[in-house]
Amino acid sequence: MDLGLRGKTAIVTGGSTGIGRAVTEMLAGEGCKVAVCDIEPREAAEAFAHSVSITSGTACIAVYADVSSEADVTALNNTVISEFGGYDVMVNCAAITTTAMISDLGLEDWDRVLSVNLTGAYLVSKAAIKHYMEKGAGGRVINFTSQSAFRGTKSGHAHYAASKAGIVGLTRTLALETARHGICVNAVSPGIVYTPTMEDRINSRREQYEAEIPLGYVAEPKDVAYAAVFLASDMGKYITGATLDVSGGIMLR
């Protein structure tokens, strides 16, 4: 099936690891040119982008940017426009966290997680929307939230949950603001995913995690990436302001 992505261009923040890596590979596999945005390590992102280009036969570049920096996001935007003539899809996967219960959670950690996860989503969404409006041809913004935005967390991630809840409100509001311009803004809400940052934790408690998931198994990054690619494709053209749950049924608990 032709998803209508061939010849289009996407930016994927956090695009060389975890879910972002899978999104990049899938978009490129559908013939979409991709700019992989990551903060570090640059060499690994560049090597990954090169391998995607070779495997897919589609242009893929790596661009360094800290999404919490307005200057970096502006430079990212300008680089992709200069390299590809513009873009059609922004996928915001970049996120960080630290672990501390609220009584021990320092303001510095709170500010850093909010600046990357929520301010970063604001900055890349704003840049993409301005670009789409200037083009006058619509476009897609896909933000990543989390089950913690809806269910909370007992494991010392209040700042992470707050940032991801903010993304839901940001996504809905931007969808309302931009719908008349043909721009679709949506979010994807993963559950437990076997990414590099979660490997050790999942490996040590896999049975416990699987018992919490109605479908009975931990997601691979590609299981979540399918949802982002769907929203970016022609099949998602009449969806905006939605948060797509991709948790194996955890939201039902």
What is the predicted pLDDT for the residue at 93? Answer: 97
Q: Per residue in 110-152, pLDDT tens?
A: 999 999 999 999 999 999 999 999 999 999 999 999 999 999 9
Token pair 């996504």 in the structure block, residue:
171
| pTM more than 0.75 | yes
Q: Which whole number is the average pLDDT over 17-25?
A: 97
Higher pLDDT: 205 or 59? It is: 59
Q: First and final CA of the chain: distance in angstroms? A: 34
Residue 217 annotated to the active site: no
The Cα–Cα gap between 52 and 28 comes to: 7
Report DSSP letters for 14-34, one per residue.
TTTSHHHHHHHHHHHHTT-EE
Residue 199 pLDDT grade (very low, low, confident, very high; cuts 50, 70, 90) = confident
What is the predicted pLDDT for the residue at 23? Answer: 98
Q: Where are the domains of the chain?
A: 9-247
Cite the beta strand spans of the chain per DSSP E: 9-13, 33-38, 60-64, 89-92, 139-144, 183-190, 243-246
Percent of the chain with pLDDT over 90: 90
What is the predicted pLDDT for the residue at 78? Answer: 97
Q: Which whole number is the average pLDDT over 213-234?
A: 97
What is the predicted pLDDT for the residue at 231? Answer: 98
- Cα atoms in the Cβ-side hemisphere of radius 13 Å centred on 64: 6
Q: Which whole number is the average pLDDT over 71-82?
A: 97
Percent of the chain with pLDDT over 70: 100
Mean pLDDT of the chain: 95
The Cα–Cα gap between 79 and 63 comes to: 8
- Is the predicted pLDDT of residue 208 greater than 80, yes or no? yes
- Would you state the CATH architecture of domain 9-247? 3-Layer(aba) Sandwich (3.40)
Nearest partner of 67 among 36, 88, 89, 43, judged by Cα: 36
CB atoms within 10 A of CB 40: 10
Higher pLDDT: 40 or 129? It is: 129
- Is the predicted pLDDT of residue 236 greater than 80, yes or no? yes
What is the predicted pLDDT for the residue at 154? Answer: 83
- Cα atoms in the Cβ-side hemisphere of radius 13 Å centred on 156: 10
- Is the predicted pLDDT of residue 31 greater than 80, yes or no? yes
Active-site entry in 87, 122, 132, 160 = 160
The overall longest dimension of the chain from CA atoms, in Å, is 52
User: Residue 4 burial (CB < 10 Å; 0-12/13-18/19+)?
Assistant: middle
Question: Residue type at 187?
Answer: A
What is the predicted pLDDT for the residue at 72? Answer: 97
Q: Which whole number is the average pLDDT over 198-204?
A: 85
Cβ 2 vs Cβ 83: under 8 Å:
no
What is the predicted pLDDT for the residue at 42? Answer: 86
User: Residue 156 burial (CB < 10 Å; 0-12/13-18/19+)?
Assistant: middle
